[in-house]
Structure 1
Amino acid sequence: MTPAQGPLTGYRILELGANISVPWATMLLGDQGAEIIKLEVAGGDQTRVAGNFRRDIDGMASLFLNSNRNKRSIVLDMKSADGQAAAQKIAAQCDVVVQNFRPGVAERLGVGYEQIRALRPDIIYVSVDGLGSEGRGAARRVYDIVVQGLAGFARMQAPRDSGEPTMVNTIITDKIAAMTVWQAVTAALLARERQGIGQHVTISMLDAAIAFLWPDVMADASLTGDKVQRGSFPASVRYIFPTADGHIIVGMFAQPEWKGLCTAIERPDLIEDPRFLTLKDRLINVEAMNAILSGAFQSRPSTEWIDRLEANDAVFAPVNGPEDVADDPYVIALGTIEDGEHPVIGPYRQAIHPARFEKTPASIRRHAPMLGADTREVLAEFGIEPS
């Protein structure tokens, strides 16, 4: 792996996190050059056993592998005075501490905000929780499924035919929170550079999830009153249509795109059809449009539709499964997937960092660490005698 000077090179971050909302965020910060020290307790992050795994190797399942590169792992007994003292000494020499313990746990372990701020006044300290650190939800056990229900994901995913709520089939609210953490850390570091201040940043998964849904899904919550007319976007618009051998995704937003779609399905009469003349018309008459498109796409296989839609500059996509993504020609052309060789588990694939910096490139410098692999090295660097 080629070292690179990323935009966050020189910053040091202590991660006191598990699952995804903190580990994926710190991984992205690590990609950008920050030094990440992941403090784990005995047994380690529970994602070490989540997902696909090598039967002969414990503690490096795919969920952990894909969320913890560019880090060093240390294990401390945080219930002991020595473990807490070591964690405090490390935190005091870091620029950022990020944790997602349940509210009150960090303080009991000696690594709460006030405890670390007393050692380093300009610390950037980020606390991530599920439903807030105070009030009704503070004491609850919260995972992605809880936030999907509260924020509205499960209801918005309900199929039109059954109306049965269903989950988004990914831990979406954890990842939304992680990307909020990623941005918040860099913003707080910028404020410290300009103003010389540290601060406590609090992020709840529920806040982040609702903010994510608000622009489009929350129409009924954001615009109310007697004079408001309900629109059909996005709930009634159908984007996935069956083909002769599978499915295809198409869009029909701007006029050139509608023209390309109509041309591809050999229905030029629809271009000037008054029911579909503008985006507003298409949304008002969405059921009629859905019926026409559904009938048209079943006449040919998906690959033929892809060729025809691309030739007419339409908005379209294949319906890839996880096993298809790495081999998709668009993904290959973009170079999104990188092959790696982990020193313990062997060959694997990973997605590269999503932001491409011209002058300060992000890079993958370290594979995800085995549990506690770097404890002695890190403790020695901070002048701490192992227990």
Structure 2
Amino acid sequence: MTNNQPLAGIRVLDVSQVMAGPFCCMLLGDMGADVIKVEPPQVGDSSRRSMGFRLKGEDSPGFLALNRNKRSIVLDLKAPADRDTFYALVKTADVVVENGRPGVADRLGIGYDTLRALNPRLIYASISGFGPGGPWATRPGYDLIAQAMSGLMSAVGIPDQEPVKNTTPVGDLGSALFAAYGILSAILARQTTGEGQLVTASLFEAALGLSIWETAEFWGTGKSPQPLGSANRMSAPYQAVEASDGWFVFAAANQKLWLALLAVIGRQDLADLPRFLDNSARVTNARELIELLRPSFRTRTAAEWVDALLAAGVPSGPILNYEQSLASEHTHARAMVQDIAHPVEGSFKALGFPVKLSATPQVVRFPPPLLDEHGTEIRHELADKGLIAEPQAA
């Protein structure tokens, strides 16, 4: 298969498990990188056995969702012979990605300083819960903990209710995106310097780094942001409301949209009230404002309101569940659902590529690998380069 994608020729060693590291490496693989997933013996990536349901094979749907466009080799990094094979791989690699707790990689003999000595051009990405330094560095890294300790959990959910987290794991997935961004930047820097570097990302810093509105509010007011439900910190009204048959969302995010909204719902009487005169006043009085608007929205169905608001230029939409969203014509028009052929599953559905490249589009070159599916193949490649002895036939 010809690979003319942007990262063709870049080799990535994925020495990570579960979500943050594997998602980062999958993104690189989707752009054409040769991603080799290095897995421990017997169980492999622990996410292979996660989740409480299966399709046909032993690997979980979660593992399948995070590991396309990779090859798998099993190496016991505590065993000298397998560690030497890993060192041989490092000499051929451009990038290593690991997401263990700080200190674990060094104890295994695969820390940054050790691998950089083998390959000075190596870009080493380390994703952890809280980063390699600071008083929280050695704490376990879980998305729930990062959301809690970054401040994010204090500002999501319904006012005066028990704390909730963002169900989408923004710490895990955000750190993966930031790590990929750092890796690509380091690849560009290497073109000038000729040397690799250490890239660090963490779940905590990702959750905090994405808290743009919340930190702006805190520094601007001196008060920690509180939960707003579906409302917005910078614009009002901008949230979910209940129609006669269910809920929908709309966003009157500026003065023009505010006046258009009032015209649609027949509440022009609110336009000249000082406490709702501009966006700043409406944000300050958002709770009172939405209570005044709620009776109007209960007079028609959600679909009727969405159609009427869109016709007036006010952003609006239904609240879809995942079944509805994945089945929508728009989702399929944007190729966000794909069927991936698999040697055990036959095929399975997966999300498509959320960013599109016009000249070098992403493709699924490899389905998520079976454990050690490519181990012999990769060892032969290393032997051909004279880096290890030719593997013996089984």
What TM-score results when the alignment is normalised by the length of structure 1?
Answer: 0.90
User: How high is the sequence identity, in percent, across the aligned residues?
Assistant: 34
Deviations 1:222-241 (A, max 9, x none): 33679xxxxx8259866011
Superposition pairs of residues 46-125 of structure 1, within 5 angstroms: 46-51=46-51, 53-54=53-54, 56-59=56-59, 61-125=60-124
Paired residues for 1:337-348 under 5 Å = 337-348=337-348
CA deviation profile, 1:186-216 (whole Å, cap 9, x unmatched): 0000000122221111222212221111x20
Deviation of 1:297 after TM superposition, in Å, equals 1.8
1:294/1:50 CA distance change after superposition, 3 Å: farther
Measure how far apart 1:54 and its partner are: 2.8
Q: Is the Cα contact below 8 Å between 1:75 and 1:372 reproduced in 2?
A: yes
CA distance in 1, matches of 2:114, 2:176: 24
**What aligned pairs does 1:25-36 form with structure 2 within 5 A after superposition?**
25-36=24-35
Cross-structure match for 1:245: 245
CA distance in structure 1 between the aligned counterparts of 2:271 and 2:378, rounded to whole angstroms: 65
Q: Where does the alignment leave 5 or more consecutive residues of structure 2 unmatched?
A: 224-231
Tell me which moved more, 127-136 or 261-270: 261-270
Q: CA deviation at 1:366?
A: 1.6
Please state how far the C-alpha of 1:336 moved relative to its aligned partner.
2.2
SS of the equivalent of 1:249 reads: strand
In the TM superposition, residue 52 of structure 1 has moved relative to its aligned partner by 6.3
- Structure 1: give runs of 5+ residues left out of the alignment: 227-231
Contact 2:56 2:345 in 1 (8 A): no
Question: Offset of 1:298 from its aligned partner?
Answer: 1.8
Q: Which residue of 2 aligns with 1:306?
A: 306
State yes or no: 1:5 paired with 2:1. Answer: no
- Structure 1 match to 2:227: none
Mapped contact 1:244–1:301 kept (Cα < 8 A): yes
Paired position in structure 2 for 1:297: 297
Cα distance in 1 between the residues matched to 2:355 and 2:194: 27
Q: Helix, strand or coil for the counterpart of 1:9?
A: coil
Residue aligning to 2:180: 182
Residue 370 of structure 1 aligns with an amino acid whose one-letter code is L
The answer to whether the 8 A contact 1:52-1:62 is kept is: no
> 1:229 — aligned with what?
none
Q: Which has the higher helix share?
A: 2
- Measure, in 2, the Cα distance between the counterparts of 1:72 and 1:310: 47
- Partner residue in 2 for 1:279: 279
Amino acid at match of 1:167: K
Deviation at 1:371, TM superposition (A): 1.5
Q: How do 1:108-187 residues align onto structure 2 when only pairs under 5 Å count?
A: 108-160=107-159, 162-187=160-185
Which one has more relative contact order, counting CA pairs under 8 Å at least 6 apart? 1
**Residues 355-377 of structure 1: CA deviation (Å, up to 9, x unaligned):** 22222222222211122111111
Contact 2:124 2:199 in 1 (8 A): yes
SS of 1:241's partner is: strand
Say if 1:74 and 1:36 are closer, same or farther in 2 by CA, change over 3 A.
same
Corresponding position: 1:317 with 2:317: yes
Could you tell me how far apart the structure 1 residues matched to 2:56 and 2:340 are?
Answer: 19
Maintained 8 Å contact 1:340/1:349? yes
Task: Check the 8 A contact 1:21/1:174 in 2, yes or no.
Answer: yes
My pick for the range that moved more, 331-340 or 22-31, is 331-340
Given the alignment, which residue of 216, 220, 230 partners 1:219? 216
Encode CA deviations 1:262-303: one digit per residue, 9 max, x unaligned.
333243444555443321232133123211332222222222
CA distance in 2, matches of 1:138, 1:285: 41
Shift of the 274–339 alpha-carbon distance from structure 1 to 2, 3 Å rule, reads farther
Q: Secondary structure at the match of 2:327?
A: coil
Per the TM alignment, residue 131 of structure 1 is displaced from its structure 2 partner at its CA by 1.5
- 1:329 equivalent to 2:326? Answer no
Deviates more, 1:372-381 or 1:353-362: 353-362
CA RMSD of aligned residues (A): 2.3
Q: How many residues align?
A: 378
Q: For each residue in 1:295-323, what CA deviation from the matched residue of structure 2 results, as whole angstroms up to 9, or x when unmatched?
A: 22222222222222221221112211122
Does structure 2 conserve the Cα–Cα contact (< 8 Å) formed by 1:98 and 1:126?
yes
Deviates more, 1:275-284 or 1:308-317: 275-284
Give the deviation of 1:350 after TM superposition: 2.1
Distance 1:361 1:56, change over 3 A: closer
C-alpha distance 225-76 of structure 1, shift in aligned 2 (>3 A) = closer
**Distance in 1 of aligned mates of 2:264 and 2:348:** 39
Offset from partner CA, 1:119-144 (integer Å, 9 cap, x none): 11111111111112234323322211
C-alpha spacing 1:372/1:266, structure 2 compared with 1 (3 Å): farther
